[in-house]
């Protein structure tokens, strides 16, 4: 639709879960700027501001053309005063002064470097910064007490901060398949997270594991981890029981089979061997040139085990994007009086749990058009 001035005017529904967001983005200059401000807010314990910037960026991601004029943004949802100011600055001056000064700020740079250590969150990084620690050298010199995750994070810092390719994700997928087949034949492995949404690289690789027979998945995670450990694939792992009682609000918790839901944060050792076996690199023999060259890399891998009865909810909940998930839960609560988690969907009006064996059914329960994973890149 066009208005009198022949300026393209776009119409966009307000919840990200009502929209189809592919990886094609005609407004990366604007969305990168808003995402950086979102990241800065999140790293500064300003979650509300972070979400506001994420929502604004997500709206721009679905526009079919690059924005060239502020009038094109009239009537669009989620664009607050602050985000509009940033966009205007970029359209008029080629850059946003706030984004540029944030990028340059010592605090932001330090927060990025320190939270780049696996196991270090914004709170820890903030404490270190207040103690005068701004980079890895200063951190190492000050010999702080680090937990096991942080020690592994520091040791494999460069590898973990290097993006994971789809080919590497697939090679790890083959190893996980092998582990699962060895400890519980018939169990199924599904690639989730960003790679399921079609991304070509990621910060980690995420897998969801289940078994078609309810209950067979009980105790599975420790067996998978033991197998991987015995084969030398794990540089670090921490398995936690489902943290869903503590971490998620609302009544979306079916009380049976709660402790069957487990996750494992790990750092994987991916060697050239696995990549070769996955058919991705030319077959070659170790040579003198390999002397001193590292023939493996560390990769962050997340594993989740779910009972088949909760599989659709886990699949939907772990495919992301994070904003898409947040918007699904907001839609459920605010528009439907329902409570959605990665375990269940509770209908507050009927006071009952709504069953689903596929993502399509969950969208239908929520009164939403089905959005496939490749269009959940909000
Ligand atoms: P990259 O890894 O950066 O490529 O992006 P990603 O979308 O895969 O992000 P990430 O691996 O961080 O998370 C994948 C999905 O899992 C996202 O939708 C998150 O919302 C979800 N997720 C991450 N941590 C948790 C958690 O502790 N509980 C639940 N229920 N979901 C989580
Ligand atoms: Mn991921
Ligand atoms: Mn992850």
| DSSP one-letter code for 8 | B
Secondary structure E strands in 117-198: 164-165, 188-192
Mean pLDDT of 188-208: 98
Q: Which of 135-149, 265-279, 332-346 has the lowest mean pLDDT?
A: 265-279
Q: Which of 325, 68, 89, 57 is nearest to 194 (CA)?
A: 325
What residue's CA is closest to ligand 1, atom 25? 318
Give the ligand whose atoms come closest to the C-alpha of residue 301: 3
Q: Which helix (H) or strand (E) holds 206?
A: strand 205-210
Q: Cβ of 12: how many Cβ atoms within 10 Å? A: 18
- In the structure, what pLDDT confidence band is assigned to residue 243 with cuts at 50, 70 and 90? low
- In the structure, what pLDDT confidence band is assigned to residue 6 with cuts at 50, 70 and 90? low
What own/partner pairs with CB < 8 Å and gap ≥ 24 does 288-296 have? Answer: 295/271, 296/269, 296/270, 296/271, 296/272
Nearest-atom index, ligand 1, CA of 248:
30
**Per-residue confidence (pLDDT) for residue 323, from 0 to 100:** 98
**Per-residue confidence (pLDDT) for residue 147, from 0 to 100:** 97
Sign of the alpha-carbon torsion through 115, 376, 369, 307: negative
Exposed, middle or buried by CB within 10 Å (0-12, 13-18, 19+), for 292? exposed
Asked if the model's pLDDT at residue 253 lies above 80, the reply is no
Higher pLDDT, 278 or 43: 43
What residue's CA is closest to ligand 1, atom 31? 318
Between the CA of 175 and the centroid of ligand 3 the distance, in Å, is: 17
Between the CA of 323 and the centroid of ligand 2 the distance, in Å, is: 13
Express as a percent the part of the chain with pLDDT over 70.
Answer: 90
Asked if the model's pLDDT at residue 315 lies above 80, the reply is yes
Higher pLDDT, 286 or 301: 301
Cα angle: 81, vertex 83, 87; to 5 degrees: 115
Q: Cβ of 161: how many Cβ atoms within 10 Å? A: 15
Between the CA of 295 and the centroid of ligand 1 the distance, in Å, is: 29
Asked if the model's pLDDT at residue 283 lies above 80, the reply is no
What residue's CA is closest to ligand 1, atom 3? 203
Q: Please give all residues whose beta carbon lies within 6 A of any atom in ligand 1, as ranges.
A: 193-194, 199, 202-204, 206, 317-318, 320-322, 325, 342
pLDDT tens track for 64-82: 999 999 999 999 999 999 9
What residue's CA is closest to ligand 1, atom 18? 320
**Per-residue confidence (pLDDT) for residue 61, from 0 to 100:** 98
Asked if the model's pLDDT at residue 251 lies above 90, the reply is no
Asked if the model's pLDDT at residue 258 lies above 60, the reply is no
- Positions annotated as catalytic residues are 204, 206, 302
Nearest-atom index, ligand 1, CA of 202:
4
Q: Which of 92-96, 205-209, 240-244 has the lowest mean pLDDT?
A: 240-244
**Per-residue confidence (pLDDT) for residue 250, from 0 to 100:** 47
Cα 172 from Cα 60, distance rounded (Å) = 34
Q: Which of 161, 162, 164 is nearest to 202 (CA)?
A: 164
Q: Which of 160, 168, 193, 306 to mutate to test the pocket of ligand 1 (most atoms within 8 A of CB)?
A: 193
Rounded to two decimals, what is the model's pTM?
A: 0.93
pLDDT tens track for 117-126: 999 999 999 9
Between the CA of 283 and the centroid of ligand 1 the distance, in Å, is: 34
Nearest-atom index, ligand 1, CA of 201:
4
ipTM of the predicted structure?
Answer: 0.98
Q: Which of 241, 322, 343 to mutate to test the pocket of ligand 1 (most atoms within 8 A of CB)?
A: 322
Between the CA of 192 and the centroid of ligand 1 the distance, in Å, is: 9
């Amino acid at each position: 639709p066009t208005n009198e001035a022949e300026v393209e005017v776009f119409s966009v529904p307000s919840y990200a879960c009502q929209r189809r967001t592919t990886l094609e983005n005609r407004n990366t200059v604007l969305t990168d700027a808003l995402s950086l401000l979102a990241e800065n807010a999140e790293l500064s314990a300003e979650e509300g501001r972070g979400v506001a910037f994420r929502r604004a960026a997500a709206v721009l991601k679905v526009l079919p053309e690059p924005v060239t004029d502020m009038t094109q943004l009239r009537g669009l949802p989620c664009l607050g005063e602050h985000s509009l100011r940033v966009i205007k600055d970029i359209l008029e001056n080629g850059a946003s002064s706030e984004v540029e000064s944030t990028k340059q700020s010592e605090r932001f740079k330090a927060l990025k470097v320190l939270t780049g250590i696996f196991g270090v969150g914004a709170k820890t990084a903030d404490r270190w910064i207040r103690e005068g620690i701004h980079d890895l050298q200063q951190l190492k010199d000050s010999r702080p007490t680090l937990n096991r995750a942080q020690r592994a994070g520091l040791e494999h810092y460069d590898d973990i901060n290097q993006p994971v390719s789809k080919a590497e994700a697939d090679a790890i997928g083959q190893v996980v398949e092998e582990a699962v087949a060895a400890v519980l034949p018939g169990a199924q492995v599904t690639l989730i997270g960003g790679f399921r949404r079609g991304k070509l690289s990621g910060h980690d690789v995420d897998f969801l594991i289940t078994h078609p027979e309810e209950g067979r998945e009980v105790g599975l995670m420790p067996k998978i981890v033991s197998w991987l450990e015995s084969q030398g694939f794990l540089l670090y792992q921490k398995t936690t029981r489902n943290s869903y009682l503590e971490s998620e609000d609302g009544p979306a918790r079916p009380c049976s089979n709660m402790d069957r839901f487990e996750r494992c944060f790990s750092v994987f050792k991916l060697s050239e061997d696995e990549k070769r076996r996955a058919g991705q690199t030319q077959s070659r023999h170790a040579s003198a040139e390999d002397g001193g060259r590292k023939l493996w890399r560390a990769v962050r891998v997340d594993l989740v085990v779910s009972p088949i009865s909760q599989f659709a909810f886990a699949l939907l909940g772990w495919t992301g994007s994070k904003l898409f998930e947040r918007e699904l839960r907001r839609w459920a609560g605010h528009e439907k009086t329902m409570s959605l988690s990665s375990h269940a969907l509770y209908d507050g009006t009927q006071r009952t749990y709504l069953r689903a064996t596929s993502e399509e059914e969950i969208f239908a329960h929520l009164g939403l058009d089905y959005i496939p994973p490749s269009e959940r890149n909000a």
